[in-house]
Structure 1
Amino acid sequence: MIAQKSALSTLHRFVLWLTCACMASFLLLGCGSKKYYTPEQAHDTLIFDRSFSSPIAANNRYGAMLKDGSLITRDGIIPYNAKIPKKARFLGESGGYYIFAKGCESVYLVRTSVLDEQAFGNQTCSIKEQNTACSQDELEIKTTMCALSASIKGSLLALIGSDNSMSIFDINAPAQEPKFSHKGSSVLAVNELIAAPLFLESLVVFPTLDGRLLIVSTKTFTPERNIIISSEKFFNNVIYLYGDDSRIFAATPKKLISIVSGQEFSYNESIKDALFYKGYLYVLTPDGMLAQLDHTLRPINTEKFTYAKLEGIAIANDTLYTFETHGGYVIAVGLKDFSHKVYKTQDTFGRTPPNKLNFYSNSVFYYNKYYYDFERLR
């Protein structure tokens, strides 16, 4: 009996050992089978040698806020000022104002010239006396939404809320009632790149959180068109929106469309990010492809970086830069011939950047408290 128990105990130990060995082998094989981007040659090393005194605490598609309250916009750093509201989320800059969300109760506007003495040189508020919206230094608009993105044109403020609601306010009106309000279908999860409303001549285009474009007249404040881009249940918000009165480009993580002179074109690839520049649309896909498309979304040039996880688009000196997150590489692609160079990156202490950018603007990549301006690279 004792011998039988001993044999069973030995068998149990063997089964347990075998199970653990199989699990370990499975994990090792699984890890070993994961592929990472490896360039044939790194051209040089880029050192993120510029830094702020405080790290980035929060960010979105249009700006970031440092831990000390300073702002990063598409144009650079705005040092902390007492006019910057505390415990507020920075949504971006539009129509001569810096826009903040104060919880889910209000949207707070601070005129750009209050924080940036060059604001009146950028033609957003060039004639103060003729633009009553620009004559007010600070405004607070009461809302019933948690604003995620916003845009301003003249005296009109367009908002998108976390509940997929859309509103238009006249910031000069004495009564703060929305001129337009609409709530879309509920969403469970969204991509962190959330596009802001786009003002055209007499329209505002709302990029919804459920993969649509809702086009509203700014004359009658009624919907004129509803365009479905994609219908995924999760992470289906519009992540990119650009346009003028003759064309619109919009993307969700699953599809890209363009509307040109009333005609609609589509590019049926998964989309990581996009940027319109000098007549072409540049697109990153999750599987490591960079594509140059014309206004009908016809590919002009493509380059596939096998196993690369690309993030961010910056352009300087006719070169497009994107960040490969796994290896900490910057890939530079010449826009004239689509030839490319690869740079290894590190900070001033020789450390490879983490696998995510916090923010990127026209020509600058930011992470933590470090940044690199590609205008320096010739």
Structure 2
Amino acid sequence: MSRQLRWHTLCKHTMLWGYICLAALILAACGSKKYYTPAQVQGTIIFDRSFSAPIATSNRYGAELKDGSLITQDGIIPYNAKIPKKSRFLGESGGYYIFAKGCESVYLIRTSVLDEQAFSNQTCSIKEQNTACAEDELEIPTTMCALSASIKGNLLALIGSDNSMSIIDLNSPKKEQKFSQKGSSVLAVNELIAAPLFLESLVIFPTLDGRLLIVSTKSFTPERNIIISSEKFFNNVIFLYGDETRIFAATPKKLISIVSGQEFSYNESIKDVLFYKGYLYALTLDGMLAQLDHTLRPVNTQKFDYAKLEGIAMANDTLYTFETHGGYVIAVQLSNFAHKIYKTQDTFGKTPPNKLNFYSKGVFYYNKYYYDFERLP
């Protein structure tokens, strides 16, 4: 055999063994991947309630079914012909359901038009008290593809997919834009996109590039720019809550608290956050649930090794979260952080897929099924 032929044969065998070794490494890695395995399962939770159609789209504040019905933080709104077709439901704020119609406009429908109970339990309890609620429907032309929105009185605050922010006066004849600013370009965002937060004389914009832009609603000028984190990808603000004395905000890499001018931080890979009865509850990517005070000091923590946690619901003085790999619900008592584990299944005995479609105050939804934790003893 010639030298050239021997070398060619050796190369072929070397490449073959290289592929075999690579495949073996991949299989070994897959085989060694660990998943959350509870020591004890308390029982089974059956997602035995359903609605008319599966969930088509969702965001942090609401979801839309394939038949056009809506899910809000307060429950389901059956399809109504007034719900605009080919639109995205952004949520409910200031007495209106808010929709984005492509990148051309934002459409507002007063809550009582779709829900007769709205006058008794929503912002527009008396129509004349809120001038913005005086019109049943409004369509506002935009120059952005709106991703999130909030309303207070006659002001509409929007965040666009190009990281632009604007404030629009709903009472002005031509729906005047009172403020507009565009942040740096972003390539990818987390699906939990926070909406602007109105305070007494400020609006706080949770940007797509990891900042809080605070704008005066009197002068419509920026007053402060707070950088939470500076990651290049998936760095949008996923959680925002506050009042006149404190602000809490999080990106997927950091949670911050601003209390009476002082800033505190909690540096973890954040999956989700909820503020409830004076405490913050944070889920992290490595399976930790943390209860934090307003300075972000851990009060209680519970680590679930290898767990992939998603969703936070509160009921019966208990926090419920979903472990997506195994289809478990983890129930944590707020009083002492003791926990119970439940296996989940649908009415056909199948484990739910590895993702919740939407979760609200006390309910988990997936596909066309849901479970209300108020029912769980």
Question: What TM-score does the superposition give when structure 1 sets the normalisation length?
Answer: 0.96
How many matched pairs?
A: 377
**1:101 aligned residue:** 100
**2:310 aligned residue:** 311
CA drift of 1:176 comes to 2.1
Amino acid at match of 2:359: Y
- How many Å separate the matches in 2 of 1:369 and 1:13? 53
**1:116 aligned residue:** 115
Whether contact under 8 Å (2:170, 2:176) holds in the other structure is no
1:144 is the counterpart of 2:152: no
- How many Å separate the matches in 1 of 2:4 and 2:269? 59
- How many Å separate the matches in 1 of 2:231 and 2:238? 14
Amino acid at match of 2:41: A
- How many Å separate the matches in 2 of 1:102 and 1:16? 54
Structure 2 unaligned blocks of 5 or more: none
User: Over the residues paired in the alignment, what is the CA RMSD in angstroms?
Assistant: 1.8
CA drift of 1:14 comes to 5.8
Q: Write the mapping of 1:178-217 to structure 2, written as runs, cut at 5 A.
A: 178-217=177-216
The structure-2 alpha-carbon separation of the partners of 1:113 and 1:22, relative to structure 1 and needing over 3 Å to count, comes to same
**2:172 aligned residue:** 173
Q: Write the mapping of 1:295-310 to structure 2, written as runs, cut at 5 A.
A: 295-310=294-309
**1:251 aligned residue:** 250
Amino acid at match of 1:72: I
CA drift of 1:5 comes to 12
CA drift of 1:135 comes to 1.5
CA drift of 1:262 comes to 1.2
CA drift of 1:314 comes to 0.3
The structure-2 alpha-carbon separation of the partners of 1:91 and 1:10, relative to structure 1 and needing over 3 Å to count, comes to same
**1:352 aligned residue:** 351
- How many Å separate the matches in 2 of 1:289 and 1:117? 41
CA drift of 1:10 comes to 8.6
Q: Write the mapping of 1:228-243 to structure 2, written as runs, cut at 5 A.
A: 228-243=227-242
The structure-2 alpha-carbon separation of the partners of 1:264 and 1:13, relative to structure 1 and needing over 3 Å to count, comes to closer
CA drift of 1:177 comes to 2.4
- How many Å separate the matches in 1 of 2:145 and 2:19? 49
- How many Å separate the matches in 2 of 1:167 and 1:3? 75
- How many Å separate the matches in 1 of 2:4 and 2:225? 74
Alpha-carbon displacement from aligned partner over 1:236-293 (angstroms, at most 9, x marks no partner): 1000000111111000001000111111111111111000000000000000000000
**1:293 aligned residue:** 292
Identity of aligned residues (%): 82
Amino acid at match of 2:213: L
Question: What TM-score does the superposition give when structure 2 sets the normalisation length?
Answer: 0.96
The structure-2 alpha-carbon separation of the partners of 1:167 and 1:10, relative to structure 1 and needing over 3 Å to count, comes to closer
Amino acid at match of 1:49: D
**1:227 aligned residue:** 226
Alpha-carbon displacement from aligned partner over 1:196-254 (angstroms, at most 9, x marks no partner): 00000111000000100001111111111111111111111000000111111000001
The structure-2 alpha-carbon separation of the partners of 1:25 and 1:280, relative to structure 1 and needing over 3 Å to count, comes to same
Alpha-carbon displacement from aligned partner over 1:152-183 (angstroms, at most 9, x marks no partner): 01111000000000000111110222111111
Q: Write the mapping of 1:72-111 to structure 2, written as runs, cut at 5 A.
A: 72-111=71-110
- How many Å separate the matches in 2 of 1:200 and 1:11? 72
**1:62 aligned residue:** 61
Alpha-carbon displacement from aligned partner over 1:32-58 (angstroms, at most 9, x marks no partner): 121111000111011111111210000
Alpha-carbon displacement from aligned partner over 1:330-355 (angstroms, at most 9, x marks no partner): 10000000000011111011111111
The structure-2 alpha-carbon separation of the partners of 1:6 and 1:266, relative to structure 1 and needing over 3 Å to count, comes to closer
Runs of 4+ residues deviating >4 angstroms? 2-17
The more displaced of 301-310 and 13-22 is 13-22
- How many Å separate the matches in 2 of 1:314 and 1:32? 33
**1:262 aligned residue:** 261
**1:271 aligned residue:** 270
- How many Å separate the matches in 1 of 2:339 and 2:298? 18
Amino acid at match of 1:85: P
- How many Å separate the matches in 1 of 2:223 and 2:15? 66
Alpha-carbon displacement from aligned partner over 1:288-329 (angstroms, at most 9, x marks no partner): 000000001000000000000100000001000000011111
**1:49 aligned residue:** 48
Structure 1 unaligned blocks of 5 or more: none
Q: Write the mapping of 1:23-38 to structure 2, written as runs, cut at 5 A.
A: 23-38=22-37
- How many Å separate the matches in 2 of 1:30 and 1:219? 58
- How many Å separate the matches in 1 of 2:213 and 2:11? 64
